[in-house]
Chain A
Amino acid sequence: MPKLLFVIGLTTLLAFSACGGGNDPFKEDGGGASAGAAAPALTATVKGKITFEGTPPEMKKIVTSSDPGCKNSDLANEAIIVSDGGLENVIVYVSKGLEGKKFPKPTEQKVLDQKGCHYVPHALTLQTGQELKIVNSDETTHNIHAWAEVNSPFNESQSSKGVETIKTFDKEEVLLPVRCDVHNWMNAFIGVFTNPSNAVSGKGGAYEFKIPAGEYEITAEHEKLGKQTQMVTVAENGSADLNFTFKAAN
């Protein structure tokens, strides 16, 4: 009797072991822009400021002692960077209005550097098919782990200084996190778009990008503070100011 009960119990435990988890049920399908008419000229400009309202959280210092190769004592959490009242690293892009428009693939490479055990820049945008050069400028090992959900994820190591890796993404995806599993504080965010009309807010929260004339829905998205959308209309050779305000999280 005890043997039988024991075997039944063990079988139940094994059955539970095998049941595992499923895929993320809330995962959104991305999808890229379909081919359409020839690329419209980028004659108009959208620019503005991303304002941060409230008291910015303290940029907690990061302890890098787990790796002697990380000699950056000034490293701090980069999730929320506020300068001159403006929020940096917000990706601003066209969320509606450019569907079906086809734009040429840029020949210019973008660079994601691992320098001082953090990513430079912290946020960047790419066009589908555009090359991303990932560089290790540190005297230590990094791995580049792209947590893509729409594109193919990858996890590759760069074990010495000067190593470069070229990557491209073929589908639109925002935000695509990139992390280093060796140094768990290192993260960067990429926005991949089928068009070039997007930018990342810099010092003082300022951003600017070129766009064809027309009416658009513009989205500003931040890794921690979520996203906001606004409509904008820009005329041929015109310029539109579009400001966003993000509030400190409770």
Chain B
Amino acid sequence: MSRNVRVAGSLHEGGENVGLHRFALFTACSTAFLIFVGGLVTSNQAGLSVPDWPTSYGWNMFTFPYSKWVGGIRYEHVHRLVASFVGFLTVVTASWTWLTERRRWLRNLSLIALMAVITQGILGGMTVKYLLPTSISMTHACLAQTFFCMTIAMAFFTSPSWKRGLPLVEDRSEGLRLPVICALTTGAVYVQLLLGAWMRHTQSGLAIPDFPLAFGRIVPEFRDYHVAIHFSHRLGAVLVTATIAWTAIRIWRKHRRDQLLLRPAIIMTGLLAMQLTLGAFTIWTEKSPVIASAHVATGALILGTSFLLTLRAFTMVQREVAWR
């Protein structure tokens, strides 16, 4: 059976820009790596190991001697350098987009991403200047995830496949139900990452020291707010597991022939399994920095995959809905 191929709204707005797409993809991958490096900073309690900003111990960040990259300084300084690199990539992406793209909304998106990365850099500096206040640290962590989604969106909308037009879903009986479910899942993952950031930045990561039980019980006694924050993250994990399972099962049942949906759904499910395992080991290893950072990065990857799935789902049902 031949498949309907929808003509995406952008096809007539310029040819394929493979170079920009690859560059945007590289920026998204670099951002995922940056989130991992940022996780290493928090996990090693190194956020203030370089007490000045934008200088590093009085040096220009890019000429800070390697011999001084010791202890926690290594994590913080590498984070600053990788962040600068991602900032540079974002500047290039935005410039490239403005020079070559005719889609105004895409140009605006690249500009919003640029503003987000600049804001993110300033927030990073403020965490140093104001000694890691929870509100700024959390905003820094949440904006990181939002910016990551922006880079994914840039890579998605510049992709040749999007420009050529994604195929419509085979089962057209559901209308917008699938994209809405995907969007809800993305929202749930985002809220869970927010809870995770809250837990990390209030030093509540080991407030409940056992897993899968909590102080030997299913629901712990809430001795202080650290326990409450930690437990909310565990409840969030249950909610996210349920929403991801819901999304994956629906895709498997209704859209298993739509590879562009099935693949990210399978990847997201695999990442979820990995994430739950990493979460457990974060407790069992008493917050081993590498494991805790991998937990942060995998959370970002789940968000990114879910966000991509949402974009694809909206794109792949849109024309079908319009036909109805």
A complexed with B? yes
Most chain-A CB neighbours within 10 Å: which of B68, B131, B150?
B131
Is B323 interfacial (CB 8 A cutoff)?
Answer: no
Is B198 interfacial (CB 8 A cutoff)?
Answer: yes
Question: With A66-B71, A143-B48, A183-B71 in contact, is A20–B224 under 8 Å at CB?
Answer: no
| Contact present for B139 and A141 (CB under 8 Å) | no
Give the interface segment out of A6-14, A104-112, A189-197, A231-239: A6-14
Q: Closest CB-CB distance, B28 to chain A, in whole Å?
A: 15
| Contact present for B138 and A26 (CB under 8 Å) | no
List chain B residues, Cβ under 8 A from A156: 51
Tell me the dominant secondary structure on chain A's binding face: loop
Binary per-residue interface labels of chain A (1-32) against chain B in the complex, 1 for a CB within 8 Å, 0 otherwise: 11101110110111011111111111000000
Is B94 interfacial (CB 8 A cutoff)?
Answer: no
In the complex, A179→B48 CA distance in Å?
A: 10
Is B219 interfacial (CB 8 A cutoff)?
Answer: no
List chain B residues, Cβ under 8 A from A143: 48-49, 51
**Count, chain A residues at interface, CB 8 A:** 42
A 128-147 contacts with B by CB, 8 A: 140-141, 143, 145
In the complex, A57→B179 CA distance in Å?
A: 53
| Contact present for A181 and B49 (CB under 8 Å) | yes
Pick the residue among B51, B139, B202, B310 that contacts A157 (CB under 8 A): B51
Binary per-residue interface labels of chain B (54-84) against chain A in the complex, 1 for a CB within 8 Å, 0 otherwise: 0001000000000010111110100000000
In the complex, A159→B73 CA distance in Å?
A: 12
Is B30 interfacial (CB 8 A cutoff)?
Answer: no
Nearest B-chain residue to A13, judged by Cβ:
B146
In the complex, A2→B318 CA distance in Å?
A: 7
Is B241 interfacial (CB 8 A cutoff)?
Answer: no
Is A182 interfacial (CB 8 A cutoff)?
Answer: yes
Is B153 interfacial (CB 8 A cutoff)?
Answer: yes
Q: Closest CB-CB distance, B313 to chain A, in whole Å?
A: 10
| Contact present for B191 and A16 (CB under 8 Å) | yes
| Contact present for A13 and B149 (CB under 8 Å) | yes
| Contact present for A66 and B74 (CB under 8 Å) | yes
Is B206 interfacial (CB 8 A cutoff)?
Answer: no
In the complex, A153→B314 CA distance in Å?
A: 49
Question: With A181-B46, A182-B70, A184-B45 in contact, is A13–B318 under 8 Å at CB?
Answer: no
Q: Closest CB-CB distance, B156 to chain A, in whole Å?
A: 10
Question: With A10-B150, A67-B70, A184-B72 in contact, is A155–B51 under 8 Å at CB?
Answer: yes
Q: Closest CB-CB distance, B32 to chain A, in whole Å?
A: 16
List chain A residues, Cβ under 8 A from B72: 66, 181-184
In the complex, A171→B277 CA distance in Å?
A: 45
Binary per-residue interface labels of chain B (142-169) against chain A in the complex, 1 for a CB within 8 Å, 0 otherwise: 1101100110010000000000000000
Question: With A1-B322, A157-B57 in contact, is A21–B70 under 8 Å at CB?
Answer: no
In the complex, A143→B133 CA distance in Å?
A: 18
Nearest A-chain residue to B191, judged by Cβ:
A16
Binding site for A on B (CB under 8 A): 9, 44-49, 51-52, 57, 68, 70-74, 76, 105, 109, 112, 116, 131, 133-139, 142-143, 145-146, 149-150, 153, 179, 183, 186-187, 190-191, 194, 197-198, 201-202, 224-225, 310-311, 314-315, 318, 321-322
11 A-B pairs besides A6-B311, A21-B134, A66-B72 with CB distance below 8 A are A1-B321, A2-B315, A10-B149, A18-B142, A20-B135, A20-B138, A20-B142, A22-B134, A66-B70, A159-B57, A184-B46
**A to B CB contacts below 8 Å, 28 in the list:** A5-B183, A6-B314, A9-B186, A10-B150, A12-B187, A13-B145, A17-B145, A17-B146, A18-B139, A20-B134, A20-B138, A23-B133, A24-B134, A24-B202, A25-B225, A66-B70, A66-B74, A69-B70, A141-B70, A145-B51, A155-B48, A155-B51, A156-B51, A157-B51, A181-B47, A182-B72, A183-B71, A184-B46
Top 4 A-B pairs, shortest CB-CB distance: A181-B49, A67-B70, A182-B71, A20-B139
Binding site for B on A (CB under 8 A): 1-3, 5-7, 9-10, 12-14, 16-26, 66-70, 140-141, 143, 145, 153-157, 159, 179, 181-184
